[in-house]
């Protein structure tokens, strides 16, 4: 709902609002009949390019904690300072902690490192044990006194430096790596052990992990150890509550545990969170997750885990057969057969009370001497798995949904609430009588729910398969087009020049031909020696005709526009003429001036209904924070047929707006004037994302929102376009855009022809990271990187990796500046 702005506030509240709206942490503060509502500035909670003010304050809190803890430990000559049992407050037994060190050292040495960078080295429990096996070691920590003490007693090859976990790119760390003799390609192991609980949230954890993956040498390991498992947080809290009050009834314990879990002041997450961070790193990464295998029953062995990430492993993951747990004897017999095997579903006796349960320590002892390992079940943290060989523990990372408990949210709400109450008191208002609510980040669940309501669940499940069928038909059509003049039939084959000449391809479309060749090679439908192409596997005209006709059968039961599938069927049959520039794609797309097919592409299909509904809900949220003294100022670029515009305008009904609808084509502007005539606050004009934005009638720093649906990929230089858009936005303004985030082969045989430059012109991507690749669309990781480089902070991307529409590769992304 849009928030009514007619609510009357007192002079004292008005004064407090002014104070809050000028505070560096606060993006907007409004007062209405629900009380005082505050939206936190994204800059204050950002982790890139540098941590925001609230993140820094959170990290400084932990720095003070460890400065105090280490100082007290140093006075008592206690290398295990800070290691106390949560249930009793007593120091954890020295023998247990000694075994903890042994197991951690084994984990690190299992990666066979020569140069280790440890982020958060603490009291140096690991540094000295590792050093005798290394050629170089660099340890960082935030506790200045502890770092100074390490520096005074450093051994040859050891260097210690004061730095936070996110500062691996700092001059101090780079100098330390040089001083320790690290090779140019970086450390072969980055160790982040027993520090993640002090991180504020998943965003910060993701930054640290991705930075570590980025700097580690090919084949090297990033070890993220001694992490608290989010899937076991409530179990941990029940354990504490039961220890504190053994006589309490189960329901009472459960209620207390839930309350304690909500208040928990440390970061908890599961291994899927680390896998998602690795997926977005842009490198090939394999992951293995291990339980703690010390002998004692403690919170460390119950509720913590270790993860190893291997970057660019250089070898395929082993795919062993899965076998159910039937007892230790049967498991050892399977392992002795020396076949790759996963023995799954082993209940961990520390967490599950069943007759067949065992501990991770018992499993480790039983398999000693075998090439095998004990790993943690990726879904059920109360279950263990045995793998043989040990290398089978590593699997490729996948972007599955993860769980996390993030203490930073509560911290932000508390600190911003304190600022709000202080502003109310200074303004003379009664802070006790004002309800204060703080919003940190976007309402992601609300946006996802609105998007889900816009589509049929059956469509969401089936559409990715249908689009894969379209891509398959597109590849067949590419091959058939090449085979028409008898090209690429056999070795030695034909080169690009001969292929282009034989097909009489217009010079401006030759880049499309090159992408076809690459696609067919990747699909094993064409062979190449790098210069010539041969052994083309073409379907034959009859098979292609059957495949094209099959599109209609595959579409049945889907809410997918028939006009859109007919357009694709027509386009693939016109491919030779399209390549020769004898037929324009516009003539096929807008036959008789009808925009229905284009509307089907950008509006009337499940994936676009999903992202458009998500865009509308995001805009509705933005409007709730609109300043009261002026309309919401919006620029839509490349608005085209208004596929996204219609949903956005519906979301803005009742909100005063100054909405500039733009495109490079007068055709779309004329159509939009008729279509949106009943909406107040709209203006129309031309705007070119490849031209200087300030020369096109929009003043710098005046916009609340820029919208671009299926247009930003048309930028000649995406970085320059993003920087230009950022200049138009107010501080904390939002860029909201829909983009295709994978190369669709159906587009390569249809819409891609719209992107060929006229003679003397430039093609999308000619001056950015796409130059020379012939690719048009950026993936999600590339978009985030380009947004970061342009000074934006990404705030949302839907559908998420767990949604069935995610493989389609059409995303709504939002970023703020």
Averaged pLDDT, 491-501: 94
Task: Reply yes or no on whether the pLDDT at 805 is more than 70.
Answer: yes
Residue 161 backbone dihedrals phi, psi, to 5 degrees: -145, 145
- Alpha carbon 386 to chain centroid, angstroms: 30
Radius of gyration of the chain (CA): 30
The pLDDT value recorded for residue 592 is: 58
Residue 168 pairs in a beta bridge with none
- Banded pLDDT at 435 (limits 50, 70, 90): very high
Task: Reply yes or no on whether the pLDDT at 430 is more than 90.
Answer: no
- Banded pLDDT at 1 (limits 50, 70, 90): very low
The pLDDT value recorded for residue 88 is: 73
- Banded pLDDT at 2 (limits 50, 70, 90): very low
pTM of the model: 0.83
The pLDDT value recorded for residue 34 is: 86
Q: What is the pLDDT of residues 361-379, one digit of tens each?
A: 999 999 999 999 999 999 9
Residue 653 backbone dihedrals phi, psi, to 5 degrees: -60, 130
Give the whole-number percent of the chain exceeding pLDDT 90: 74
Q: Which of 22-26, 65-69, 147-151 has the lowest mean pLDDT?
A: 65-69
Which DSSP string do the residues of 736-756 spell out, in sequence order?
EEEEE-S--HHHHTTGGGGGP
Averaged pLDDT, 773-778: 94
- Banded pLDDT at 556 (limits 50, 70, 90): confident
Round to whole Å and give the CA distance between 164 and 154: 20
Residue for token digits 């490729």?
Answer: 396
Contact between residue 412 and residue 440 where contact means Cβ atoms under 8 Å apart: yes
The pLDDT value recorded for residue 10 is: 87
| C-alpha separations of 585 from 412, 567, 599, 747 in Å | 52, 10, 15, 12
Q: What is the pLDDT of residues 633-652, one digit of tens each?
A: 999 999 998 989 999 999 99
Which DSSP string do the residues of 643-674 spell out, in sequence order?
TTHHHHHHHTTTS-EEEEEEES-HHHHHHHHH
**SS3 (DSSP) at 294:** coil
Comparison of pLDDT for 616 and 788, the residue scoring more: 616
Q: Which of 163-177, 585-599, 663-677, 711-725 has the lowest mean pLDDT?
A: 585-599
Any alpha helices (H) in 539-627, and if so which ranges? 541-555, 562-573, 575-579, 585-589, 596-602, 606-623
Q: What is the pLDDT of residues 10-62, one digit of tens each?
A: 899 999 999 999 999 999 998 888 889 999 998 999 998 899 999 999 999 88
- Of 194, 201, 162, 174, nearest in space to 59 by CA: 201
Give the whole-number percent of the chain exceeding pLDDT 70: 95
Residue for token digits 């993140």?
Answer: 55
Task: Reply yes or no on whether the pLDDT at 349 is more than 50.
Answer: yes
The pLDDT value recorded for residue 7 is: 57
The pLDDT value recorded for residue 75 is: 43
- Banded pLDDT at 304 (limits 50, 70, 90): very high
The pLDDT value recorded for residue 403 is: 94
Strands 321-324 and 632-637: unpaired
The pLDDT value recorded for residue 794 is: 86
The pLDDT value recorded for residue 392 is: 94
Which run of H or E residues covers position 144? helix 144-152
Q: How many helices (H) and strands (E) does the chain have?
A: 30, 26
Contact between residue 596 and residue 671 where contact means Cβ atoms under 8 Å apart: no
Task: Reply yes or no on whether the pLDDT at 309 is more than 50.
Answer: yes
The pLDDT value recorded for residue 272 is: 95
| Burial of residue 738 (number of CB atoms within 10 Å: 0-12, 13-18, 19+) | buried
Counting Cα atoms < 13 Å in the Cβ hemisphere of 496 gives: 14
- Of 169, 119, 113, 175, nearest in space to 147 by CA: 119
Average pLDDT, the chain: 91
The pLDDT value recorded for residue 77 is: 47
- Banded pLDDT at 714 (limits 50, 70, 90): very high
Averaged pLDDT, 78-92: 70
- Banded pLDDT at 329 (limits 50, 70, 90): very high
Task: Reply yes or no on whether the pLDDT at 468 is more than 60.
Answer: yes
Task: Reply yes or no on whether the pLDDT at 4 is more than 80.
Answer: no
- Alpha carbon 544 to chain centroid, angstroms: 38
Round to whole Å and give the CA distance between 199 and 227: 11
The pLDDT value recorded for residue 628 is: 74
| C-alpha separations of 458 from 220, 271, 291, 401, 805 in Å | 43, 30, 39, 21, 11
- Banded pLDDT at 401 (limits 50, 70, 90): confident
Task: Reply yes or no on whether the pLDDT at 119 is more than 80.
Answer: yes
The pLDDT value recorded for residue 603 is: 54
Contact between residue 188 and residue 215 where contact means Cβ atoms under 8 Å apart: no
Task: Reply yes or no on whether the pLDDT at 9 is more than 90.
Answer: no
Averaged pLDDT, 256-267: 95
Q: Which of 72-81, 398-407, 434-443 has the lowest mean pLDDT?
A: 72-81
**How many Cβ atoms sit within 10 Å of the Cβ of residue 449?**
13
Q: What is the pLDDT of residues 560-609, one digit of tens each?
A: 777 778 888 889 899 999 999 999 888 887 765 555 555 544 556 888 99
The pLDDT value recorded for residue 118 is: 97
Residue 814 pairs in a beta bridge with 736, 796
Any alpha helices (H) in 182-309, and if so which ranges? 202-215, 233-244, 250-263, 271-279, 299-303
Averaged pLDDT, 331-349: 92
Which run of H or E residues covers position 430? none
């Amino acid at each position: 709902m849009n928030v009514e702005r007619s609510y009357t506030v007192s002079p004292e509240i008005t004064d407090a609002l002014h104070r809050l709206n000028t505070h560096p942490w606060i993006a907007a503060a409004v007062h209405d009949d629900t009380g005082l509502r505050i939206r936190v500035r994204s800059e204050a909670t950002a982790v890139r390019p540098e941590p925001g003010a609230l993140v820094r304050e959170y990290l400084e809190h932990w720095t003070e904690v460890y400065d105090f803890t280490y100082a007290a430990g140093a006075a008592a000559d206690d290398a295990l300072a800070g290691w106390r049992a949560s249930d009793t407050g007593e120091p954890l037994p020295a023998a247990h902690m000694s075994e903890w060190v042994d197991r951690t050292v084994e984990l690190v040495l299992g990666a066979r490192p020569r140069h280790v960078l440890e982020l958060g080295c603490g009291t140096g429990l690991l540094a000295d044990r590792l050093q005798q096996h290394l050629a170089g070691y660099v340890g960082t920590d935030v506790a200045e006194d502890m770092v100074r003490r390490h520096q005074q007693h450093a051994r040859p090859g050891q260097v210690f430096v004061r730095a936070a976990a996110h500062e691996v790119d700092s001059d101090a760390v780079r100098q330390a790596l040089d001083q320790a003799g690290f090779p140019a390609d970086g450390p072969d192991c980055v160790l982040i052990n027993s520090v993640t609980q002090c991180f504020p949230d998943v965003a910060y954890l993701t930054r640290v992990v991705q930075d570590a993956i980025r700097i580690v040498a090919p084949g090297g390991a990033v070890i993220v150890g001694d992490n608290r498992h989010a899937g076991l947080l409530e179990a941990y809290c029940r354990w504490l509550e039961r220890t504190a009050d053994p006589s309490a009834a189960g329901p009472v314990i459960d209620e207390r545990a839930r309350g304690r879990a909500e208040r928990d002041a440390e970061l908890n997450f599961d291994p899927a969170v680390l896998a998602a961070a690795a997926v977005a790193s842009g490198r090939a990464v394999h992951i293995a997750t291990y339980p703690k295998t010390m002998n004692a029953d403690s919170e460390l062995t119950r509720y913590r885990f270790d993860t190893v990430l291997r970057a660019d492993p250089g070898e395929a993951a082993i795919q062993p057969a899965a076998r159910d747990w039937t007892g230790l004897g049967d498991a050892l017999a399977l392992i002795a057969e020396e076949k790759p095997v996963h023995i799954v579903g082993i209940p961990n006796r520390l967490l599950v009370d069943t007759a067949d349960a065992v501990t991770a320590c018992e499993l480790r002892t039983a398999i000693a001497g075998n090439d095998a390992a004990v790993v943690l079940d990726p879904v059920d943290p109360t279950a263990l798995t045995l793998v043989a060989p040990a290398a089978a523990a590593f699997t490729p990372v996948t972007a599955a949904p993860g769980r996390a408990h993030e203490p930073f949210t509560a911290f932000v709400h508390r600190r911003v609430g304190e600022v709000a109450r202080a502003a109310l008191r200074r303004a003379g208002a009664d802070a006790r009588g004002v309800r204060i609510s703080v919003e940190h980040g976007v309402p992601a669940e609300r946006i996802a729910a609105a998007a889900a309501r816009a589509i049929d669940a059956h469509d969401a499940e089936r559409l990715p398969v249908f689009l894969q069928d379209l891509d398959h038909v597109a590849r067949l059509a590419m091959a058939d087009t090449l085979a028409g003049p008898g090209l690429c039939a056999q070795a030695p084959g034909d080169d690009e020049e001969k292929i282009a000449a034989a097909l009489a391809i217009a010079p401006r479309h030759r880049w499309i031909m090159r992408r076809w060749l690459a696609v067919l090679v990747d699909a094993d439908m064409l062979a190449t020696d790098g210069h010539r192409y041969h052994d083309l596997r073409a379907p034959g005209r009859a098979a292609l005709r059957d495949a094209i006709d099959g599109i209609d059968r595959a579409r049945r039961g889907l809410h997918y526009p028939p006009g859109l599938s007919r357009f694709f069927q027509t386009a693939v049959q016109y491919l030779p003429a399209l390549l020769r520039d004898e037929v324009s794609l516009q003539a096929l797309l807008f036959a008789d001036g009808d925009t229905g097919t284009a509307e089907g592409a950008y509006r009337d299909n499940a994936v676009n209904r999903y992202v458009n509904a998500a865009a509308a809900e995001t805009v509705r949220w933005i409007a709730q924070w609109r300043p009261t003294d002026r309309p919401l100022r919006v620029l839509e670029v490349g608005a085209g047929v208004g596929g996204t515009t219609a949903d956005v305008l519906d979301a803005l009904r009742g909100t005063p707006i100054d909405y500039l609808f733009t495109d490079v084509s007068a055709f779309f502007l004329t159509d939009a004037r008729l279509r949106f005539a009943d909406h107040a606050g709209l203006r129309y004009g031309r705007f070119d994302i490849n031209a200087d934005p300030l020369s096109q009638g929009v003043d710098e720093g005046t916009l609340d929102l820029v919208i671009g649906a299926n247009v930003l990929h048309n930028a000649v230089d995406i970085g320059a376009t993003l920087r230009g858009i950022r200049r138009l936005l107010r501080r904390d303004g939002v860029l909201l855009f829909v983009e295709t985030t994978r190369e669709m082969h159906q587009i390569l045989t249809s819409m891609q022809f719209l992107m060929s430059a006229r003679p003397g012109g430039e093609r999308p991507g000619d001056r950015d990271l796409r130059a020379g690749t012939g690719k048009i669309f950026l993936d999600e990781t590339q978009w985030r990187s380009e947004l970061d480089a342009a000074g934006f902070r990404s705030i949302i991307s839907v559908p998420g990796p767990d949604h069935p529409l995610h493989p389609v590769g059409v995303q709504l992304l939002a970023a703020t500046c």
